[in-house]
Amino acid sequence: MAYTIVDTCIGCTACTKRCPTNAITGTRNVVHVIDPTLCIDCGACGVVCPPEAILDDLGDICKTFPRKEWPKAIVVEDNCIGSGCELCIQICPFEALSLGEPERTVGDFFGIAVLNDKKCTGCRLCEDACGWGAIYIDPPRELLKKRAWPEEEGAAPEKELVEAAAG
């Protein structure tokens, strides 16, 4: 199931600018729509949505993050085989990865993937493409969801009341 936008969308267009596959359409001040055939379930749209009007592929509300906390790729230099592979570099729709020099050179090593933070949307395509465990997106997908119950932040009783009423 693809991500979806709910009626609380204010039509700010932030999600359309962040989507790596152009799956989101809409005009300013009107509820936007996600094309499920283009959506790759990356969550890039959810982290920028001011009214938190985007549901993930499981139907959970996506949490908005400040810019400095947006998901981004992290390269594990020790695992990256660099030139000769370059799968993450080739798949990135924003050209956020390039071949560069590692901090420490080993033998005839010809570079590693280097991230341009300003271009990365955290779409996870590079993470999925890498078979070497050399790149991952931080924060993990689970942390991009809005907490469902207040006790997860320190309060408790409401979930028990709902469960007691249901059961």
Per residue in 115-164, pLDDT (tens digit) is 999 999 898 899 999 999 999 999 888 888 876 444 444 444 444 433 44
Asked if the bond preceding 150 is cis, omega within 30° of 0, the reply is no
Per DSSP, the three-state class of 153 is helix
Per residue in 68-103, pLDDT (tens digit) is 999 999 999 889 988 779 999 999 988 999 998 766
* Helix H or strand E encompassing 18: helix 14-18
Whole-structure pTM value: 0.71
Residue 122 has a CB neighbour count (10 Å cut-off) of 24
**Residue bearing tokens 């390039």:** 98
Per residue in 43-71, pLDDT (tens digit) is 899 999 999 999 998 899 999 999 899 99
Per residue in 10-21, pLDDT (tens digit) is 999 999 999 988
Q: Hey, what domains does the chain have and what are their CATH numbers?
A: 1-66 (3.30.70.20), 71-141 (3.30.70.3270)
**Residue bearing tokens 């499981």:** 58
For the chain, helix (H) and strand (E) counts, in that order, are: 4, 8
The whole-number pLDDT of residue 144 equals 83
Please check whether residue 24 is in contact with residue 16, taking contact to mean a CB–CB distance below 8 angstroms.
Answer: yes
The whole-number pLDDT of residue 154 equals 47
25 pLDDT higher than 90: yes
The whole-number pLDDT of residue 137 equals 94
The whole-number pLDDT of residue 165 equals 38
134-146: buried (b, 16+ CB within 10 Å) or exposed (e) per residue? bbebeeebeebbe
Per DSSP, the three-state class of 89 is helix
Half-sphere exposure (Cβ direction) of 102: Cα atoms closer than 13 Å: 19
The whole-number pLDDT of residue 109 equals 62
